[in-house]
Amino acid sequence: MTKIIKLNDFLNLNISNKKKVLVTGCFDIIHPGHKEFLEAARKQGKILIVGLETDKRIKQLKGKDRPVNDEKKRLDNLAKLKIADFLFLLPEDFDKKNNHLVLLQLIKPSVLAVSSNSPHLKEKKKLVEKISGTLFIFPLSPQYSTTKYCKRYDTFSTLEKMYECLKTG
């Protein structure tokens, strides 16, 4: 069962003896690539932890028209997948490089899972190695992209057409 939890509450849990996998991201409109990525990340350890970017951070990263779904809806959508063990919102100042290392030091994941289109792969590898972890890189298909879906949606005249597009990738 997936548990939506505050980061501070998660840090107070006693799960230090289990192999933890950490994923962070936006997960704005859930598509097949997200599901495949999370399932592959899950196989890398015993506990899958997902840190979700806040609405404010997504606006900074993706632009003023994003996110499509607010953080509560995105947390709920991820929980419905029943892949992750724990979901939490990342701090709003997660854009600072040092905060990435601090988060890794606090959670102590054995594995940091990222997709192949993730920016700063070399830096992420160095950061996770500082805590004796490893980087798992999932080869995400370029056909899956929330940004691409949003651009395509702008050309659709009906929600039914968008739904068909999302179903087929």
- Dihedrals phi, psi of 21, to nearest 5 degrees: -120, 130
Q: What is the pTM of this model?
A: 0.83
Confidence of residue 142 (pLDDT cuts 50, 70, 90): low
How many CA atoms, within 13 angstroms, populate the side-chain half-sphere of residue 14?
0
Q: What is the pLDDT of residue 29?
A: 83
Residue, of 132 and 157, whose pLDDT is higher: 132
Sequence-distant (≥ 6) Cβ neighbours of residue 72 within 8 angstroms? none
| 3-141 CATH, one of 3.40.1080.10, 3.40.50.620, 3.30.565.10, 2.40.160.10 | 3.40.50.620
Q: What is the pLDDT of residue 154?
A: 52
Q: What is the pLDDT of residue 168?
A: 52
Give the single-character DSSP code of 110: S
Sheet holding 47-52, edge to edge: 3-4, 86-89, 47-52, 20-25, 111-115, 134-138
Report the candidate in 169, 10, 144, 140 with the shortest Cα–Cα distance to residue 87.
10
Q: Is the pLDDT of residue 62 over 70?
A: yes
pLDDT one-digit tens code per residue, 30-53 = 888 899 999 999 999 999 999 999
Mean pLDDT confidence for 48-64: 90
Residue, of 137 and 94, whose pLDDT is higher: 137
Q: Is the pLDDT of residue 96 over 60?
A: yes
* Average pLDDT of the residues of the chain: 85
Q: What is the pLDDT of residue 155?
A: 47
